[in-house]
Amino acid sequence: MESKNLLGIYFTKDTATVVCLAPPGKGDNIPDCFTVTAKDQEQPKIPALASLIAQSCAEKKMSFSEVAVAIDCSLFMQHSVHSEFTDQKQISSTIRFDTEEALATDISETVLAFEINSTSQSGSNLTVFTAQKKILSEILLSLQQYNFDPITIKPDVICLSKLVSHKIPKGESTEGCLFGMLSKHSGYLIAPRDPDSSGSYDSSAVRTFLVGAKQKRTELLAREIMITTPLFGSREPINSLRIFDSAGIVDFPSVTEKTGILAKGIEFFGEPDSLHAENEDRINRVDFAIAYGAALSLREKEQTVNFRDDFSPFQGKKIKTRNALKFAMVSVTILLIAVGVYFQMNLFSVKKDIKNARIKFDRNYEIVMGKKLSNTVTTQKALKNLNNELITIKAGRAGIITQGTSVSSKLTLVLKALNKSAKQTGLNIKSIDITEKNISISGDILNTTKFINDLKDTGLEVKSSNLEVNKQTKRTNFRFTLEPAS
């Protein structure tokens, strides 16, 4: 089965950016991307955005198999928490207690996701992300309403970090390098790690902050860099800055002067959005990068920072299909067993009826014929013997009214004729009257001509006849008056 595209969706409070990424093995091809806004919508923002996303995907005929979501930093909070454990499973089982103790507040309605920054003998230093369950549930349910079931729901900075690590040229060291990115409303600082021996990147040190519309972006970025640098103390000392400002306002020499660290631009982010302000349909570069990073995260085999794991674990279409298939197989098995039992019971009943009928037939045969039915005699031959005996009995009863040799001879002729025609003409005798003068036979038959010829062949002559054809049964009711031929 051919792999399908991956869909990354980045949610802010009133906008959503969608990036469709080619499947693994087909490079970084972007079949399509778009952004939608619910600023002018009267209904709640998240459901409105989900509706607009579904509508745009349908209009663009976008095909994809998996979905990932990134949420804006205004929708979550970031904390530094220490755990006494270093094992991922042990940390997962105690993270809520450690976070609640560190924050000194009730987190029963809070969703958690965490990342291990460093480990030592005393435990692990974690970056914990918290979000309101109500907001994440609204995003998830709104998307599921349109058959979008995201595998992951991640903080935007984690997705952005994934993209940065992906875009760094192979073999280029990032130790001591701090990436700073400013969108219209948010700021991000990321210190990526060099890939390990397996080629995968360790967790990056990350931090987010909000950007006010009236704040001086150069001074704000320089101040946040100075605050953040000590927080990454366990990493290599920061000795270079890579900066992208969507507004194109940040002055790199001023940042270098204020921080004492050389600052330059980030080539793979392209030109600032401010240079294309006249194009209303152009997607914000940082928003695009976050949605892109969300789609890239679907290529990872191991998912760490994922809000869904804490409040609504992803079941997946494959699991649902497999469960449905199991249920169908069980249902079909039960049905087949029931059908088998039904037919087996019917077969048993038929065999029992056949056995009882055979016993009754053998008993009646012995009574009529005066001897037991031999195993060598077939049922067809036994029926023929009984039929001949019945004809003989009926003829005998009819001839009891008279005596004499003429009656016996006439009876012999009649029986000979009947035995000759019975099987081939479908003869059914109702009565036989034999007197010294004539013979009267009544019944019904299929082939009258053949029967008359057989009578002649056996020495009987038809003196009078009364024939009546039954149109429904196609049998001829007859009454013949016979005399021996002279």
- C-alpha 66/C-alpha 18 separation (Å) is 13
Task: For the chain, give the secondary structure using H, E and C.
Answer: CCCCCEEEEEECCCEEEEEEECCCCCCCCCCEEEEEECCCCCCCHHHHHHHHHHHHHHHHCCCCCEEEEEECHHHEEEEEEEECCCCHHHHHHHHHHHHHHHHCCCCCCEEEEEEEEEEECCEEEEEEEEEEHHHHHHHHHHHHCCCCCCCEEEEHHHHHHHHHHHHCCCCCCCCCEEEEEECCCEEEEEECCCECCCCCECCCEEEEEECCCCCCHHHHHHHHHHHHHHHCCCCCCCCEEEEEECCCCCCHHHHHHHHCCEEEECHHHCCCHHHHCCCCCCCCHHHHHHHHHHHHHCCCCCCCCCCHHHHCCCCHHHHHHHHHHHHHHHHHHHHHHHHHHHHHHHHHHHHHHHHHHHHHHHHHHHHHHCCCCCCCCCHHHHHHHHHHHHHHHHHHHHHCCCCCHHHHHHHHHHHHHHHHHHHHHCCEEEEEEECCCCEEEEEEECCHHHHHHHHHHCCEEEEEEEEEEECCCCEEEEEEEEEECC
Q: What is the mean pLDDT of the chain?
A: 83
Give 72-100 pLDDT, tens digit per residue. Answer: 999 999 999 999 999 988 999 999 999 99
Residue with tokens 């077939």: 378
Residue 308: predicted pLDDT: 93
pLDDT of residue 402 exceeding 50, the answer is no
Q: What is the pTM of this model?
A: 0.64
Token duo for residue 388? 């001949």
pLDDT of residue 399 exceeding 90, the answer is no
List CB contacts of 21: < 8 A, sequence separation 6 or more.
5, 6, 7, 8, 28, 29, 30, 31, 292, 295, 296
With bands split at pLDDT 50, 70 and 90, how would you rate the model's confidence at 301? low
- C-alpha 7/C-alpha 22 separation (Å) is 9
pLDDT of residue 9 exceeding 90, the answer is yes
pLDDT of residue 405 exceeding 50, the answer is no
Of the listed ranges 202-216, 328-342, 361-375, 440-454, the least confidently predicted one is 361-375
With bands split at pLDDT 50, 70 and 90, how would you rate the model's confidence at 198? very low
- Segment 290-305 shows an average pLDDT of 83
Q: How many CB atoms lie within 10 A of CB 375?
A: 6
pLDDT of residue 257 exceeding 50, the answer is yes
Residue 454: predicted pLDDT: 80
- Segment 111-133 shows an average pLDDT of 91
With bands split at pLDDT 50, 70 and 90, how would you rate the model's confidence at 279? low
pLDDT of residue 440 exceeding 90, the answer is no
Share of the chain above pLDDT 70, in %: 87
Residue 403: predicted pLDDT: 39
